[in-house]
Structure 1
Amino acid sequence: MTTFLEEARQETAKLRQAIHDLPFNLELTAGTLRQDRFQHYLIQDALYLTEYARALAALAAKAPSAGTIAQFGEAAAGAVFFEQAMQQTFLTTFGITAAEVAASSASPTNLAYTGFMLAEGMKGTYETLLAAVLPCFSIYAEVGAAIAAKASDNNPFQLWIDTYAAPEFQQSVQRAEEAANRIAQDTNPALYRKMLNLFRCSVEFEWMFWDAAYRLETWPTAIYR
C-alpha cells in the first residue's frame, strides 16, 4: 500500500528536483554562493522560523494523542533554538545582531508562506495543518542530505549543511513523516486529497523561498518608505 508521503513525493517529484537545481542550492553545494544572498536567506529564515514555531505549536494543540502533542511541542521549541543557534553563528560572523534581524521586514514570499501555514493553523484540522507544515521538514532533510553527499571541501557553509544532514534532524523528520502516514490512513478521500494539495503548496513555497533569497527579494514598494 502506498503511504501518504510516497504519494506526496510522487506528485511533487519534478518540483522537488527543481529545488535541488536552484542556483542557490547548487552554489551553496559548491561553496560559491555570494555572502549577500546567504545573509538575506539567513535573516528571512530567522523571521520565518519564529512563525513556523507558532504553526508547530498550533499543530501540537490539535494533535490527537499525548505522544504527538509532545512530539510537535518539542519540534516547535527546536525550530526556535536548534536551527536559530546555527543561524546566529553565521549572523554573528556577518556582524548582524539579533536586534537587527528582529527589525527586518519579512519578504513578500516569506510573509505569504508563513501566513499560509498560520491560516491553516487557525481554520484547519490536525491532518491539514500537518500536511502544510511537513514539507519544511521533509525538503530540508532531503536537500541537506543531498548537499552533504557532494559538498565541496572546506565549504564555508558547512555548518548549515551539517545542521540539516545531522542524524538528529533526519530522525525528527522521519518521526513527523510517520505521523503523517499514520493519520492519513484514517482519512476520507476528500480530506486525503486536501492533505496532498496542501503539501504541494508548501513545496511550491519552499522553491519560492530559496529563489527569493537568491534574487535578494524586497518589497517593490520599499522605495516609497
Structure 2
Amino acid sequence: MTEFTIPGPIEANSTVGLLRAACPQAWQAYTEHAFVDQIAKGTLPAPCFRHYLIQDYLFLAQYTRAFALAVYKSETLADMREAAGAVDALLNTEMKLHVDYCEKWGLSEDDMLATPEDPANLNYTRYVLDTGMAGDQLDLLVALAPCSCGYGEIGARLLADPNTVLEGNPYRDWIEMYGGEEFQEVSRAAMRYIDRVAARRIGDDPAQSPRWPQLKGIFTKAVQLEAAFWQMGLHASS
C-alpha cells in the first residue's frame, strides 16, 4: 500500500511534516497499521470495528477537553477563537455525527456512554491532557496533531490507493469520510494552526529550535499511542 505517492494534507516543510519525518518508523506503524489495512480490504471483523467506534466516541469527549485546554493556553484571541471553534464543532457537530454513524452499527449513545474507557484510550487521552497541562500551547497542539493530521493522511491514502476495496466494503463510508475534502480541510486547518503557533514560539525553522527534541518526543509518543489505539481495536473479540 506504499507503492504510490502518498496523498494527504501534510506538507513536508510544515511543522507536522517535519515532526512526521523525524519518526518515520512510528509514523508508518500508525498510518499503515493492520487495523487500517483491514479496513481498506473490508476484512476487519465487525466486533473489532464496533469496539473501536465506542472507544473513539469516548476519545472525542477527551479530545474536546484538550481543545478547551487549548483555549486557556492560547496567547492570542485568534488562537482562542480557533480552539473554541474546535470545541464547538466537536461538541455540537462531530459527536452527533459519530452517534448517527454508530447507530448504523447497532450502537446507541447510551451504549457507548455506559462502556468503560479502554486502557489504550485512557493512556492516549490522558497523555495529551497531561502534556497540555504541564507544557504550553505548542506542546498541547503537537500532542494533538497525530489524530487530525494522521487521519487525514490515512483517509486520503486509502481513497486514492487502487488496492483499496470500495465496492461492497462495509467500511466504505469511513474511508470516504476521512478521505473526503471536508475532513482533508480539517487536517489542513490543524496544520496551519500549529504552524502559526510554532512560528511565534520557536521561529520559522522549528528543527533548529532548542525545543525541537522535546517536541519530537511529544509527537512520537502520541503517534505510538495512536498505533496502540488501532491495536486495541484488533484485540477486541466481541
Note if contact 1:16-1:203 (Cα within 8 Å) is conserved in structure 2.
Answer: yes
Percent identity for Structure 1 against Structure 2: 28
Secondary structure in 1 aligned to 2:29? helix
RMSD of equivalent CA atoms: 2.2
Q: Which residue of 2 aligns with 1:178?
A: 192
Q: Give the aligned residue type for 1:130.
A: L
Residues 192/184 of structure 1: CA separation in 2 closer, same or farther (3 Å cut): farther
1:199 aligned onto 2:214: no
Q: Give the aligned residue type for 2:65.
A: R
Query: Mean Cα displacement is larger for which, 201-210 or 163-172?
Result: 163-172
Q: Give the aligned residue type for 1:215.
A: H
1:70 aligned onto 2:90: no
Residues 138/31 of structure 1: CA separation in 2 closer, same or farther (3 Å cut): same
**Cα-to-partner distance string for 1:155-207 (whole Å, 9 max, x where unaligned):** 21122122212222211221221222233234283333222211111111111
1:9 aligned onto 2:23: no
Structure-1-length-normalised TM-score: 0.88
Cα shift at 1:101: 0.6
1:46 to 50, 57, 62: 57
Q: How is 1:213-224 mapped onto 2 (pairs within 5 angstroms)?
A: 213-216=233-236
Residues 87/183 of structure 1: CA separation in 2 closer, same or farther (3 Å cut): closer
Secondary structure in 1 aligned to 2:227? helix
Q: Which residue of 1 aligns with 2:153?
A: 142
Note if contact 2:19-2:219 (Cα within 8 Å) is conserved in structure 1.
Answer: yes
Q: Gaps (5+ residues) in structure 1? A: 219-225
Q: How is 1:11-50 mapped onto 2 (pairs within 5 angstroms)?
A: 11-50=22-61
Q: Which residue of 2 aligns with 1:223?
A: none
1:124 to 135, 147, 164: 135
Q: Give the aligned residue type for 1:184.
A: A
**Cα-to-partner distance string for 1:6-59 (whole Å, 9 max, x where unaligned):** 320111222222223322111100112111000000000000110011001111
Structure-2-length-normalised TM-score: 0.83
1:112 aligned onto 2:123: yes
2:91 and 2:231 map into 1 onto residues whose CA distance is 23
Query: Mean Cα displacement is larger for which, 148-157 or 41-50?
Result: 148-157
Cα shift at 1:81: 4.3
**Cα-to-partner distance string for 1:76-116 (whole Å, 9 max, x where unaligned):** 23333444344323421232221111010111110011111
1:27 and 1:73 map into 2 onto residues whose CA distance is 35
Q: Gaps (5+ residues) in structure 2? A: 1-11, 204-208
Q: Which residue of 1 aligns with 2:229?
A: 209
Query: Mean Cα displacement is larger for which, 205-214 or 194-203?
Result: 194-203
2:89 and 2:63 map into 1 onto residues whose CA distance is 11
Q: Which residue of 1 aligns with 2:175?
A: 161
1:187 aligned onto 2:202: yes
Secondary structure in 2 aligned to 1:190? coil
